[in-house]
Chains A and B, each alone.
Chain A
Amino acid sequence: MVRRVLSLVSARIAAGVLFVIVFLAVFGKLLAPQDPLAGGPQQLAGASWHHWLGTDYLGRDVLSRLLEGSRISVLGSVEVALIALVVGAVPGILSVYLGRAFEWLTLRVADTLIALPFLVFAVAVTALLGNGISQAMITVGVLISPLFYRVSRAATLAVARSQYVEAALISGASIGWIVRRHVWVKVLPPIAVALAQTVGIGFVVVSSLTFLGIGVQPPAPTWGGLLASDLRYLHYQPYAPVAPIVLIMATVWGCNQLADAIRDVSGEAGRALLNTRRARVNRVADREPVSVEGGAR
Protein backbone atom coordinates (compact mmCIF):
# COMPACT_ATOMS: atom_id res chain seq x y z
CA MET A 1 0.00 0.00 0.00
CA VAL A 2 2.75 2.47 1.05
CA ARG A 3 4.72 1.69 -2.13
CA ARG A 4 1.58 2.18 -4.27
CA VAL A 5 0.81 5.52 -2.60
CA LEU A 6 4.38 6.76 -2.99
CA SER A 7 4.37 5.84 -6.68
CA LEU A 8 2.31 9.02 -7.19
CA VAL A 9 4.29 12.25 -7.49
CA SER A 10 1.70 14.26 -5.53
CA ALA A 11 1.97 11.77 -2.65
CA ARG A 12 5.78 11.99 -2.61
CA ILE A 13 5.64 15.81 -2.45
CA ALA A 14 2.98 15.67 0.30
CA ALA A 15 4.99 13.10 2.26
CA GLY A 16 8.07 15.36 1.95
CA VAL A 17 6.15 18.39 3.26
CA LEU A 18 4.70 16.39 6.16
CA PHE A 19 8.14 14.95 6.97
CA VAL A 20 9.48 18.50 7.33
CA ILE A 21 6.51 19.44 9.57
CA VAL A 22 7.02 16.36 11.78
CA PHE A 23 10.77 17.11 11.92
CA LEU A 24 9.95 20.64 13.11
CA ALA A 25 7.53 19.23 15.69
CA VAL A 26 10.14 16.82 17.08
CA PHE A 27 13.26 18.97 16.90
CA GLY A 28 11.71 22.47 16.82
CA LYS A 29 12.66 23.22 20.40
CA LEU A 30 16.31 22.36 19.72
CA LEU A 31 16.37 24.32 16.48
CA ALA A 32 14.90 27.48 18.04
CA PRO A 33 17.71 30.11 17.92
CA GLN A 34 16.40 31.97 20.99
CA ASP A 35 14.19 31.46 24.03
CA PRO A 36 10.64 31.63 22.62
CA LEU A 37 9.24 32.99 25.92
CA ALA A 38 11.87 35.65 26.56
CA GLY A 39 10.81 39.18 25.59
CA GLY A 40 13.21 41.82 24.32
CA PRO A 41 13.43 45.56 23.89
CA GLN A 42 12.67 45.45 20.12
CA GLN A 43 8.91 45.05 19.82
CA LEU A 44 7.24 44.34 16.47
CA ALA A 45 10.63 44.53 14.76
CA GLY A 46 11.03 43.50 11.13
CA ALA A 47 13.20 40.67 9.82
CA SER A 48 16.88 41.05 10.70
CA TRP A 49 19.99 38.92 11.00
CA HIS A 50 19.27 38.47 14.71
CA HIS A 51 15.49 37.84 14.30
CA TRP A 52 14.94 36.11 10.92
CA LEU A 53 11.13 36.50 11.10
CA GLY A 54 11.11 39.56 13.32
CA THR A 55 9.67 39.92 16.81
CA ASP A 56 6.13 40.02 18.22
CA TYR A 57 4.38 42.68 20.35
CA LEU A 58 6.42 41.61 23.45
CA GLY A 59 9.73 41.50 21.56
CA ARG A 60 9.84 37.67 21.44
CA ASP A 61 11.57 35.97 18.48
CA VAL A 62 8.82 34.85 16.02
CA LEU A 63 10.93 32.07 14.42
CA SER A 64 11.68 30.54 17.83
CA ARG A 65 8.00 30.74 18.78
CA LEU A 66 6.94 29.12 15.48
CA LEU A 67 9.44 26.27 15.97
CA GLU A 68 8.46 25.79 19.61
CA GLY A 69 4.75 25.96 18.68
CA SER A 70 5.09 23.21 16.03
CA ARG A 71 5.09 20.50 18.70
CA ILE A 72 1.77 21.49 20.31
CA SER A 73 0.10 22.20 16.95
CA VAL A 74 1.20 18.91 15.34
CA LEU A 75 0.69 16.78 18.45
CA GLY A 76 -2.72 18.37 19.04
CA SER A 77 -3.97 17.62 15.53
CA VAL A 78 -2.58 14.07 15.56
CA GLU A 79 -4.19 13.55 18.97
CA VAL A 80 -7.56 14.72 17.59
CA ALA A 81 -7.27 12.39 14.59
CA LEU A 82 -6.21 9.32 16.60
CA ILE A 83 -8.91 9.80 19.25
CA ALA A 84 -11.53 10.22 16.52
CA LEU A 85 -10.16 7.10 14.76
CA VAL A 86 -10.32 4.84 17.82
CA VAL A 87 -13.63 6.17 19.13
CA GLY A 88 -15.26 6.11 15.67
CA ALA A 89 -13.80 3.30 13.54
CA VAL A 90 -13.85 0.47 16.08
CA PRO A 91 -17.60 0.74 16.88
CA GLY A 92 -18.22 1.47 13.18
CA ILE A 93 -16.82 -1.92 12.13
CA LEU A 94 -18.30 -3.79 15.10
CA SER A 95 -21.78 -2.26 14.60
CA VAL A 96 -22.18 -4.49 11.54
CA TYR A 97 -21.43 -7.66 13.50
CA LEU A 98 -22.45 -7.20 17.14
CA GLY A 99 -26.21 -7.34 16.72
CA ARG A 100 -29.04 -4.86 16.35
CA ALA A 101 -28.95 -3.46 19.90
CA PHE A 102 -25.29 -2.39 19.56
CA GLU A 103 -25.95 -1.07 16.04
CA TRP A 104 -28.94 1.00 17.20
CA LEU A 105 -27.10 2.38 20.21
CA THR A 106 -23.96 3.40 18.30
CA LEU A 107 -26.00 4.97 15.48
CA ARG A 108 -27.92 7.11 17.98
CA VAL A 109 -24.71 8.15 19.76
CA ALA A 110 -23.13 9.07 16.42
CA ASP A 111 -26.23 11.10 15.43
CA THR A 112 -26.08 12.95 18.77
CA LEU A 113 -22.36 13.73 18.46
CA ILE A 114 -22.81 15.06 14.91
CA ALA A 115 -25.44 17.50 16.19
CA LEU A 116 -23.02 19.08 18.72
CA PRO A 117 -20.94 22.06 17.50
CA PHE A 118 -17.40 20.95 18.43
CA LEU A 119 -15.76 24.33 18.93
CA VAL A 120 -18.51 25.53 21.31
CA PHE A 121 -18.53 22.16 23.07
CA ALA A 122 -14.73 22.21 23.43
CA VAL A 123 -15.01 25.67 25.02
CA ALA A 124 -17.66 24.32 27.43
CA VAL A 125 -15.60 21.24 28.38
CA THR A 126 -12.43 23.25 28.99
CA ALA A 127 -14.47 25.64 31.12
CA LEU A 128 -15.69 22.64 33.12
CA LEU A 129 -12.47 20.59 33.36
CA GLY A 130 -9.88 23.36 33.16
CA ASN A 131 -8.07 24.89 30.21
CA GLY A 132 -5.66 22.31 28.75
CA ILE A 133 -4.74 20.98 25.32
CA SER A 134 -5.66 17.37 26.24
CA GLN A 135 -9.17 18.25 27.44
CA ALA A 136 -9.81 20.28 24.30
CA MET A 137 -8.35 17.67 21.93
CA ILE A 138 -10.18 14.71 23.52
CA THR A 139 -13.45 16.64 23.26
CA VAL A 140 -12.88 17.57 19.63
CA GLY A 141 -11.67 14.03 18.82
CA VAL A 142 -14.83 12.48 20.27
CA LEU A 143 -17.03 14.97 18.45
CA ILE A 144 -15.28 14.29 15.11
CA SER A 145 -15.45 10.49 15.63
CA PRO A 146 -18.84 10.07 13.83
CA LEU A 147 -16.91 10.76 10.60
CA PHE A 148 -14.84 7.59 11.20
CA TYR A 149 -17.90 5.73 12.47
CA ARG A 150 -19.81 6.39 9.26
CA VAL A 151 -16.87 5.76 6.92
CA SER A 152 -15.85 2.47 8.57
CA ARG A 153 -19.46 1.29 8.94
CA ALA A 154 -20.29 2.00 5.28
CA ALA A 155 -17.14 0.23 4.08
CA THR A 156 -17.77 -2.74 6.39
CA LEU A 157 -21.42 -3.03 5.30
CA ALA A 158 -20.34 -3.15 1.66
CA VAL A 159 -17.92 -5.99 2.40
CA ALA A 160 -20.00 -7.86 5.01
CA ARG A 161 -22.72 -8.67 2.47
CA SER A 162 -20.31 -9.77 -0.23
CA GLN A 163 -20.19 -13.35 -1.42
CA TYR A 164 -16.54 -13.87 -0.54
CA VAL A 165 -17.31 -13.07 3.10
CA GLU A 166 -20.21 -15.52 2.93
CA ALA A 167 -17.82 -18.08 1.42
CA ALA A 168 -15.48 -17.56 4.40
CA LEU A 169 -18.45 -17.89 6.75
CA ILE A 170 -19.42 -21.19 5.10
CA SER A 171 -15.85 -22.37 5.65
CA GLY A 172 -16.35 -21.80 9.38
CA ALA A 173 -14.44 -18.53 9.72
CA SER A 174 -15.13 -16.48 12.84
CA ILE A 175 -16.13 -12.80 12.79
CA GLY A 176 -12.61 -11.91 13.98
CA TRP A 177 -11.08 -13.84 11.07
CA ILE A 178 -13.41 -12.20 8.54
CA VAL A 179 -12.65 -8.71 9.87
CA ARG A 180 -8.88 -9.35 9.84
CA ARG A 181 -8.69 -11.03 6.45
CA HIS A 182 -11.44 -9.48 4.34
CA VAL A 183 -12.96 -6.43 6.00
CA TRP A 184 -9.91 -4.59 7.36
CA VAL A 185 -8.13 -4.43 3.99
CA LYS A 186 -11.22 -2.86 2.38
CA VAL A 187 -11.98 -0.51 5.26
CA LEU A 188 -8.39 0.71 5.62
CA PRO A 189 -8.20 2.95 2.50
CA PRO A 190 -11.33 5.02 3.32
CA ILE A 191 -10.20 5.18 6.97
CA ALA A 192 -6.73 6.33 5.87
CA VAL A 193 -8.34 9.01 3.72
CA ALA A 194 -10.54 10.11 6.64
CA LEU A 195 -7.50 10.06 8.97
CA ALA A 196 -5.43 12.27 6.68
CA GLN A 197 -8.36 14.66 6.31
CA THR A 198 -8.92 14.68 10.06
CA VAL A 199 -5.29 15.59 10.75
CA GLY A 200 -5.92 18.56 8.48
CA ILE A 201 -9.16 19.39 10.29
CA GLY A 202 -7.32 18.91 13.61
CA PHE A 203 -4.79 21.53 12.58
CA VAL A 204 -7.51 24.02 11.80
CA VAL A 205 -9.30 23.17 15.08
CA VAL A 206 -6.12 23.46 17.20
CA SER A 207 -5.30 26.71 15.47
CA SER A 208 -8.88 27.98 15.95
CA LEU A 209 -8.94 27.00 19.63
CA THR A 210 -5.56 28.50 20.37
CA PHE A 211 -6.62 31.56 18.37
CA LEU A 212 -9.45 31.83 20.93
CA GLY A 213 -7.03 31.13 23.78
CA ILE A 214 -8.53 27.69 24.53
CA GLY A 215 -6.49 24.55 25.07
CA VAL A 216 -3.13 26.22 25.56
CA GLN A 217 -2.14 28.37 28.52
CA PRO A 218 -0.34 31.59 27.53
CA PRO A 219 2.51 32.28 26.96
CA ALA A 220 3.01 28.77 25.42
CA PRO A 221 3.26 29.34 21.64
CA THR A 222 1.16 27.65 18.94
CA TRP A 223 0.73 28.44 15.27
CA GLY A 224 -2.88 29.50 15.83
CA GLY A 225 -1.91 31.65 18.83
CA LEU A 226 0.82 33.36 16.81
CA LEU A 227 -1.64 34.05 14.03
CA ALA A 228 -4.08 35.56 16.52
CA SER A 229 -1.48 37.92 17.97
CA ASP A 230 -0.13 38.83 14.52
CA LEU A 231 -3.61 39.80 13.33
CA ARG A 232 -3.98 42.25 16.20
CA TYR A 233 -0.92 44.22 14.99
CA LEU A 234 -1.59 43.87 11.29
CA HIS A 235 -1.28 47.59 10.58
CA TYR A 236 2.27 47.58 12.07
CA GLN A 237 3.43 44.30 10.47
CA PRO A 238 1.18 43.36 7.52
CA TYR A 239 3.50 40.44 6.52
CA ALA A 240 3.65 38.90 10.04
CA PRO A 241 0.77 36.35 9.65
CA VAL A 242 2.37 34.91 6.49
CA ALA A 243 4.70 32.46 8.30
CA PRO A 244 2.08 30.73 10.52
CA ILE A 245 -0.45 30.77 7.66
CA VAL A 246 2.06 29.10 5.30
CA LEU A 247 2.85 26.41 7.90
CA ILE A 248 -0.83 25.69 8.59
CA MET A 249 -1.71 25.67 4.90
CA ALA A 250 1.26 23.46 3.98
CA THR A 251 0.31 20.90 6.62
CA VAL A 252 -3.38 20.81 5.70
CA TRP A 253 -2.45 20.66 1.99
CA GLY A 254 -0.01 17.78 2.65
CA CYS A 255 -2.66 15.82 4.59
CA ASN A 256 -5.28 16.34 1.92
CA GLN A 257 -2.90 15.39 -0.91
CA LEU A 258 -1.90 12.24 0.93
CA ALA A 259 -5.58 11.43 1.54
CA ASP A 260 -6.33 11.87 -2.17
CA ALA A 261 -3.38 9.65 -3.10
CA ILE A 262 -4.53 6.89 -0.73
CA ARG A 263 -8.03 7.08 -2.21
CA ASP A 264 -6.65 6.99 -5.77
CA VAL A 265 -4.52 3.87 -5.38
CA SER A 266 -6.77 1.80 -3.11
CA GLY A 267 -8.96 -1.07 -4.25
CA GLU A 268 -9.62 -2.28 -7.77
CA ALA A 269 -10.10 1.23 -9.18
CA GLY A 270 -6.68 2.17 -7.80
CA ARG A 271 -5.06 -0.89 -9.31
CA ALA A 272 -6.64 -0.06 -12.67
CA LEU A 273 -5.33 3.52 -12.44
CA LEU A 274 -1.79 2.37 -11.63
CA ASN A 275 -1.87 -0.26 -14.39
CA THR A 276 -2.99 2.39 -16.90
CA ARG A 277 -0.15 4.70 -15.81
CA ARG A 278 2.35 1.84 -15.96
CA ALA A 279 1.13 0.90 -19.43
CA ARG A 280 1.47 4.52 -20.53
CA VAL A 281 5.02 4.71 -19.16
CA ASN A 282 5.89 1.44 -20.93
CA ARG A 283 4.46 2.73 -24.20
CA VAL A 284 6.53 5.88 -23.90
CA ALA A 285 9.62 3.78 -23.08
CA ASP A 286 8.94 1.59 -26.13
CA ARG A 287 8.66 4.64 -28.34
CA GLU A 288 11.83 6.29 -27.02
CA PRO A 289 14.40 4.57 -29.32
CA VAL A 290 12.36 5.68 -32.36
CA SER A 291 12.39 9.32 -31.26
CA VAL A 292 16.14 9.10 -30.54
CA GLU A 293 16.76 7.80 -34.06
CA GLY A 294 14.53 10.53 -35.44
CA GLY A 295 16.48 13.12 -33.47
CA ALA A 296 19.82 11.73 -34.73
CA ARG A 297 18.75 12.21 -38.30
Chain B
Amino acid sequence: MSADPAAPGYAGPGRPVLEVTDLEVHYGLRRRRRRVLQGVSLSVARGETVGVIGETGSGKSTFARAVLGLVHASAGRIRIDGEDVTGYSHRQWRALRRRGVVQYVFQDPLRSLDPDLAIEESLIEPLLVQGVGRAEAVARARRYLARVHLDEDLLRRLPGELSGGQRQRVTVARVLVTEPALIILDEPVSGLDSANRVQVLQILKDLRDSGVALVFISHDLGSVAGVADRIAVLYEGEIVEVAAARTVINAPRHVYTRLLVGSAPTLRSAAADRAGRDALRARLRV
Protein backbone atom coordinates (compact mmCIF):
# COMPACT_ATOMS: atom_id res chain seq x y z
CA MET B 1 0.00 0.00 0.00
CA SER B 2 1.37 3.42 -0.97
CA ALA B 3 1.74 6.36 1.47
CA ASP B 4 1.10 8.88 -1.31
CA PRO B 5 -2.56 9.99 -1.44
CA ALA B 6 -2.17 10.50 -5.19
CA ALA B 7 -1.23 6.86 -5.74
CA PRO B 8 -4.16 4.55 -6.66
CA GLY B 9 -3.06 2.08 -3.98
CA TYR B 10 -3.14 4.66 -1.18
CA ALA B 11 -5.93 3.82 1.20
CA GLY B 12 -5.99 6.58 3.77
CA PRO B 13 -4.85 6.16 7.32
CA GLY B 14 -6.93 3.05 8.16
CA ARG B 15 -6.91 -0.59 7.05
CA PRO B 16 -8.15 -0.94 3.45
CA VAL B 17 -11.66 -2.31 3.12
CA LEU B 18 -11.56 -2.36 -0.67
CA GLU B 19 -8.47 -3.00 -2.77
CA VAL B 20 -8.89 -3.11 -6.53
CA THR B 21 -5.78 -3.84 -8.60
CA ASP B 22 -5.54 -3.61 -12.40
CA LEU B 23 -9.23 -4.38 -12.84
CA GLU B 24 -10.35 -5.09 -16.37
CA VAL B 25 -13.95 -5.68 -17.48
CA HIS B 26 -15.23 -6.52 -20.94
CA TYR B 27 -18.81 -6.69 -22.20
CA GLY B 28 -20.01 -8.80 -25.14
CA LEU B 29 -18.55 -11.84 -26.85
CA ARG B 30 -16.15 -12.35 -29.74
CA ARG B 31 -16.49 -9.54 -32.32
CA ARG B 32 -18.88 -7.60 -30.08
CA ARG B 33 -16.47 -7.77 -27.15
CA ARG B 34 -15.56 -4.29 -25.95
CA ARG B 35 -13.47 -3.08 -23.06
CA VAL B 36 -15.32 -1.12 -20.38
CA LEU B 37 -12.66 -0.92 -17.67
CA GLN B 38 -8.89 -1.20 -18.01
CA GLY B 39 -6.14 -1.19 -15.40
CA VAL B 40 -8.35 0.29 -12.68
CA SER B 41 -6.63 0.31 -9.29
CA LEU B 42 -8.16 1.88 -6.20
CA SER B 43 -8.08 1.33 -2.45
CA VAL B 44 -10.53 2.59 0.13
CA ALA B 45 -9.83 2.53 3.87
CA ARG B 46 -12.18 2.44 6.85
CA GLY B 47 -13.62 5.86 7.54
CA GLU B 48 -12.59 7.13 4.14
CA THR B 49 -14.78 8.47 1.34
CA VAL B 50 -13.50 8.11 -2.20
CA GLY B 51 -15.36 9.83 -5.00
CA VAL B 52 -15.36 8.17 -8.42
CA ILE B 53 -16.08 10.81 -11.04
CA GLY B 54 -16.66 10.41 -14.74
CA GLU B 55 -19.08 11.13 -17.53
CA THR B 56 -21.87 8.78 -18.62
CA GLY B 57 -20.37 5.62 -20.13
CA SER B 58 -16.99 6.08 -18.48
CA GLY B 59 -17.40 2.82 -16.54
CA LYS B 60 -18.38 4.13 -13.07
CA SER B 61 -21.36 1.83 -12.57
CA THR B 62 -19.48 -1.12 -14.11
CA PHE B 63 -16.73 -0.55 -11.55
CA ALA B 64 -19.34 -0.71 -8.77
CA ARG B 65 -20.98 -3.81 -10.24
CA ALA B 66 -17.61 -5.54 -10.56
CA VAL B 67 -16.83 -4.83 -6.90
CA LEU B 68 -20.25 -6.26 -5.97
CA GLY B 69 -19.67 -9.36 -8.09
CA LEU B 70 -22.55 -8.54 -10.42
CA VAL B 71 -20.27 -8.46 -13.47
CA HIS B 72 -17.32 -10.72 -14.14
CA ALA B 73 -13.83 -9.18 -14.04
CA SER B 74 -11.74 -10.20 -17.08
CA ALA B 75 -8.49 -9.48 -15.23
CA GLY B 76 -7.17 -7.91 -12.04
CA ARG B 77 -7.83 -8.53 -8.35
CA ILE B 78 -10.53 -7.37 -5.95
CA ARG B 79 -10.08 -7.68 -2.18
CA ILE B 80 -12.96 -6.84 0.13
CA ASP B 81 -12.22 -6.55 3.84
CA GLY B 82 -8.97 -8.49 3.34
CA GLU B 83 -10.68 -11.31 1.37
CA ASP B 84 -9.64 -11.95 -2.23
CA VAL B 85 -12.99 -12.26 -4.03
CA THR B 86 -11.66 -12.27 -7.60
CA GLY B 87 -12.44 -15.88 -8.47
CA TYR B 88 -15.46 -16.30 -6.21
CA SER B 89 -18.27 -18.62 -7.31
CA HIS B 90 -21.96 -17.62 -7.07
CA ARG B 91 -22.23 -19.49 -3.79
CA GLN B 92 -19.20 -17.72 -2.30
CA TRP B 93 -20.49 -14.33 -3.42
CA ARG B 94 -23.85 -15.06 -1.81
CA ALA B 95 -22.15 -16.01 1.45
CA LEU B 96 -20.08 -12.80 1.37
CA ARG B 97 -23.10 -10.63 0.57
CA ARG B 98 -25.11 -12.30 3.30
CA ARG B 99 -22.53 -11.11 5.84
CA GLY B 100 -23.45 -7.57 4.76
CA VAL B 101 -19.82 -6.41 4.45
CA VAL B 102 -20.46 -4.47 1.26
CA GLN B 103 -23.70 -2.69 0.37
CA TYR B 104 -24.95 -0.58 -2.52
CA VAL B 105 -27.20 2.48 -2.73
CA PHE B 106 -28.91 2.84 -6.09
CA GLN B 107 -29.34 6.07 -8.00
CA ASP B 108 -33.12 5.79 -8.24
CA PRO B 109 -34.65 5.09 -4.81
CA LEU B 110 -38.16 4.54 -6.21
CA ARG B 111 -37.03 1.71 -8.48
CA SER B 112 -34.77 0.17 -5.86
CA LEU B 113 -37.63 -0.33 -3.38
CA ASP B 114 -40.27 -2.99 -4.06
CA PRO B 115 -43.48 -0.98 -4.77
CA ASP B 116 -45.65 -3.68 -3.14
CA LEU B 117 -43.67 -3.96 0.10
CA ALA B 118 -44.10 -1.61 3.04
CA ILE B 119 -40.96 0.34 3.99
CA GLU B 120 -40.54 -1.86 7.08
CA GLU B 121 -40.38 -5.00 4.92
CA SER B 122 -37.78 -3.46 2.60
CA LEU B 123 -35.69 -2.32 5.56
CA ILE B 124 -35.62 -5.67 7.33
CA GLU B 125 -35.06 -7.76 4.21
CA PRO B 126 -31.22 -7.84 4.38
CA LEU B 127 -31.48 -8.90 8.03
CA LEU B 128 -34.05 -11.62 7.34
CA VAL B 129 -31.76 -12.92 4.57
CA GLN B 130 -28.97 -13.08 7.17
CA GLY B 131 -31.22 -15.16 9.41
CA VAL B 132 -31.89 -12.48 12.03
CA GLY B 133 -35.23 -12.91 13.84
CA ARG B 134 -38.09 -10.68 12.74
CA ALA B 135 -38.49 -8.85 16.07
CA GLU B 136 -34.81 -8.01 16.27
CA ALA B 137 -34.74 -7.01 12.59
CA VAL B 138 -37.65 -4.60 13.10
CA ALA B 139 -36.00 -3.10 16.19
CA ARG B 140 -32.77 -2.57 14.26
CA ALA B 141 -34.66 -1.08 11.30
CA ARG B 142 -36.33 1.45 13.63
CA ARG B 143 -32.94 2.39 15.08
CA TYR B 144 -31.44 3.08 11.67
CA LEU B 145 -34.53 4.91 10.46
CA ALA B 146 -33.95 7.40 13.26
CA ARG B 147 -30.31 7.69 12.19
CA VAL B 148 -31.36 8.91 8.75
CA HIS B 149 -33.84 11.34 10.39
CA LEU B 150 -37.06 9.57 9.40
CA ASP B 151 -40.13 8.97 11.58
CA GLU B 152 -41.27 5.47 12.53
CA ASP B 153 -44.74 6.09 11.11
CA LEU B 154 -43.21 5.77 7.63
CA LEU B 155 -42.61 2.08 8.25
CA ARG B 156 -46.16 1.11 7.31
CA ARG B 157 -46.18 3.15 4.11
CA LEU B 158 -45.41 2.04 0.59
CA PRO B 159 -42.48 3.56 -1.35
CA GLY B 160 -44.88 5.40 -3.66
CA GLU B 161 -46.29 7.30 -0.67
CA LEU B 162 -42.91 8.86 0.25
CA SER B 163 -41.09 11.87 -1.18
CA GLY B 164 -37.89 11.41 -3.21
CA GLY B 165 -35.70 12.55 -0.32
CA GLN B 166 -37.44 10.26 2.16
CA ARG B 167 -37.07 7.31 -0.22
CA GLN B 168 -33.36 7.92 -0.68
CA ARG B 169 -32.89 8.08 3.10
CA VAL B 170 -34.81 4.81 3.39
CA THR B 171 -32.40 3.17 0.91
CA VAL B 172 -29.47 4.48 2.98
CA ALA B 173 -31.09 3.05 6.12
CA ARG B 174 -31.59 -0.28 4.33
CA VAL B 175 -27.88 -0.62 3.64
CA LEU B 176 -27.00 0.50 7.16
CA VAL B 177 -29.01 -2.18 8.96
CA THR B 178 -26.39 -4.81 8.14
CA GLU B 179 -23.66 -2.52 9.54
CA PRO B 180 -21.47 -2.79 6.43
CA ALA B 181 -17.77 -1.96 6.25
CA LEU B 182 -18.09 -0.59 2.71
CA ILE B 183 -20.98 1.22 1.00
CA ILE B 184 -20.98 2.03 -2.70
CA LEU B 185 -23.29 4.90 -3.56
CA ASP B 186 -24.24 5.32 -7.21
CA GLU B 187 -25.24 8.96 -7.74
CA PRO B 188 -27.19 9.02 -4.47
CA VAL B 189 -28.15 12.70 -4.62
CA SER B 190 -28.53 13.32 -8.35
CA GLY B 191 -32.34 13.11 -8.30
CA LEU B 192 -32.84 15.19 -5.14
CA ASP B 193 -33.65 18.84 -4.55
CA SER B 194 -31.03 20.96 -2.79
CA ALA B 195 -32.56 20.64 0.72
CA ASN B 196 -32.71 16.84 0.54
CA ARG B 197 -29.30 16.74 -1.13
CA VAL B 198 -27.73 18.56 1.83
CA GLN B 199 -29.48 16.25 4.29
CA VAL B 200 -28.32 13.05 2.52
CA LEU B 201 -24.76 14.39 2.18
CA GLN B 202 -24.71 15.17 5.90
CA ILE B 203 -25.83 11.59 6.65
CA LEU B 204 -22.95 10.34 4.49
CA LYS B 205 -20.48 12.53 6.37
CA ASP B 206 -21.78 11.13 9.68
CA LEU B 207 -21.35 7.61 8.29
CA ARG B 208 -17.77 8.31 7.28
CA ASP B 209 -17.07 9.65 10.77
CA SER B 210 -18.43 6.41 12.25
CA GLY B 211 -15.75 4.46 10.35
CA VAL B 212 -17.65 3.20 7.29
CA ALA B 213 -15.76 3.26 3.99
CA LEU B 214 -17.71 4.98 1.22
CA VAL B 215 -17.31 4.94 -2.56
CA PHE B 216 -19.31 7.85 -3.93
CA ILE B 217 -19.95 7.49 -7.65
CA SER B 218 -21.12 10.58 -9.51
CA HIS B 219 -20.84 12.54 -12.72
CA ASP B 220 -21.14 15.77 -10.75
CA LEU B 221 -17.87 16.86 -9.21
CA GLY B 222 -19.70 19.50 -7.16
CA SER B 223 -21.71 16.97 -5.13
CA VAL B 224 -18.68 14.76 -4.45
CA ALA B 225 -16.26 17.57 -3.58
CA GLY B 226 -17.81 18.33 -0.20
CA VAL B 227 -17.88 14.71 0.98
CA ALA B 228 -14.92 12.86 -0.53
CA ASP B 229 -11.47 12.65 1.02
CA ARG B 230 -10.02 11.55 -2.30
CA ILE B 231 -11.34 11.65 -5.83
CA ALA B 232 -10.60 9.20 -8.65
CA VAL B 233 -11.34 10.46 -12.15
CA LEU B 234 -12.52 7.79 -14.56
CA TYR B 235 -12.26 8.50 -18.28
CA GLU B 236 -13.07 5.95 -20.98
CA GLY B 237 -12.64 3.05 -18.56
CA GLU B 238 -9.33 4.17 -17.07
CA ILE B 239 -8.51 6.09 -13.92
CA VAL B 240 -6.66 9.14 -15.20
CA GLU B 241 -6.17 10.88 -11.88
CA VAL B 242 -6.43 10.04 -8.17
CA ALA B 243 -5.67 12.62 -5.54
CA ALA B 244 -6.98 14.29 -2.41
CA ALA B 245 -10.27 16.04 -3.17
CA ARG B 246 -8.78 19.47 -2.56
CA THR B 247 -5.92 18.77 -4.98
CA VAL B 248 -8.22 17.50 -7.73
CA ILE B 249 -10.37 20.62 -7.46
CA ASN B 250 -7.65 23.24 -7.00
CA ALA B 251 -4.82 21.76 -9.08
CA PRO B 252 -6.18 19.21 -11.56
CA ARG B 253 -3.44 17.58 -13.57
CA HIS B 254 -5.23 15.68 -16.32
CA VAL B 255 -6.95 17.54 -19.14
CA TYR B 256 -10.22 15.69 -18.55
CA THR B 257 -10.16 16.56 -14.83
CA ARG B 258 -9.61 20.20 -15.74
CA LEU B 259 -12.61 20.01 -18.06
CA LEU B 260 -14.72 18.47 -15.25
CA VAL B 261 -13.64 21.15 -12.78
CA GLY B 262 -14.30 23.84 -15.37
CA SER B 263 -17.78 22.43 -16.04
CA ALA B 264 -18.89 22.22 -12.39
CA PRO B 265 -20.93 25.39 -11.75
CA THR B 266 -21.07 24.81 -7.99
CA LEU B 267 -17.28 24.86 -7.55
CA ARG B 268 -15.48 28.09 -6.77
CA SER B 269 -12.53 26.98 -8.89
CA ALA B 270 -14.81 26.43 -11.90
CA ALA B 271 -13.53 29.47 -13.68
CA ALA B 272 -13.31 28.03 -17.17
CA ASP B 273 -15.52 29.83 -19.65
CA ARG B 274 -17.07 28.22 -22.71
CA ALA B 275 -14.05 28.91 -24.90
CA GLY B 276 -11.77 27.41 -22.26
CA ARG B 277 -13.87 24.26 -22.03
CA ASP B 278 -13.92 23.89 -25.82
CA ALA B 279 -10.12 24.16 -25.87
CA LEU B 280 -9.86 21.41 -23.21
CA ARG B 281 -12.28 19.18 -25.16
CA ALA B 282 -10.18 19.66 -28.29
CA ARG B 283 -7.06 18.60 -26.39
CA LEU B 284 -8.87 15.47 -25.09
CA ARG B 285 -9.76 14.42 -28.62
CA VAL B 286 -6.13 14.59 -29.80
Q: List chain A positions with a Cβ less than 8 A from chain B.
A: 162-164, 166-174, 177, 181-182, 185-186, 267-268, 271
Contacts and interface: CB of A to CB of B under 8 A. Distances in A.
A194 B160 CA distance: 27
Interface in B100-124: 100, 102-104, 106, 108, 111-117, 122
B94 interface: yes
A172 B130 contact: yes
B54 interface: no
B125 interface: yes
Given A167-B112, A172-B126, A267-B116, 10 more contacts: A170-B102, A171-B100, A171-B125, A171-B126, A172-B129, A173-B125, A173-B129, A174-B94, A181-B117, A182-B114
A174 B129 CA distance: 8
A177 B117 CA distance: 14
Given A170-B97, A170-B103, A172-B99, A163 B129 contact: no
Contacts, number: 63
B175 to A, nearest CB: 9
14 contacts: A164-B113, A167-B112, A167-B171, A170-B68, A170-B70, A171-B97, A171-B103, A171-B178, A172-B94, A172-B98, A172-B126, A181-B125, A267-B115, A268-B115
A172 B95 contact: yes
Contacts of A169: 70, 97
Contacts of A162: 111
B112 A163 contact: yes
A173 B94 CA distance: 7
A167 B129 contact: no
Contact of A171 (B98, B108, B116): B98
Given A173-B125, A268-B160, A164 B97 contact: no
A165 to B, nearest CB: 8
Contact of A167 (B94, B95, B98, B104): B104
A271 B117 CA distance: 13
A122 B211 CA distance: 68
Contacts of A164: 111-114, 122
Contacts of A267: 115-116
Contacts of B100: 171-172
B111 A163 contact: yes
Nearest to B93: A172
Interface in B128-184: 129-130, 160, 171, 174, 178
A168 B125 contact: yes
Interface in B68-106: 68, 70, 94-100, 102-104, 106
A171 B104 CA distance: 9
A239 to B, nearest CB: 50
Contacts of A185: 116
B116 A168 contact: no
Nearest to B184: A170
Contacts of B112: 163-164, 166-167
A164 B94 CA distance: 16
Nearest to B94: A172
A174 B98 CA distance: 10
A174 B95 CA distance: 10
B68 A171 contact: no
Given A164-B114, A185-B116, A268-B160, A170 B129 contact: no
A169 B69 CA distance: 10
A170 B160 contact: no
A171 B113 contact: no
Question: What are the nearest 9 A-B pairs in CB distance?
Answer: A172-B98, A172-B97, A171-B126, A163-B112, A164-B114, A163-B111, A173-B129, A171-B129, A170-B104
Contacts of B94: 172, 174
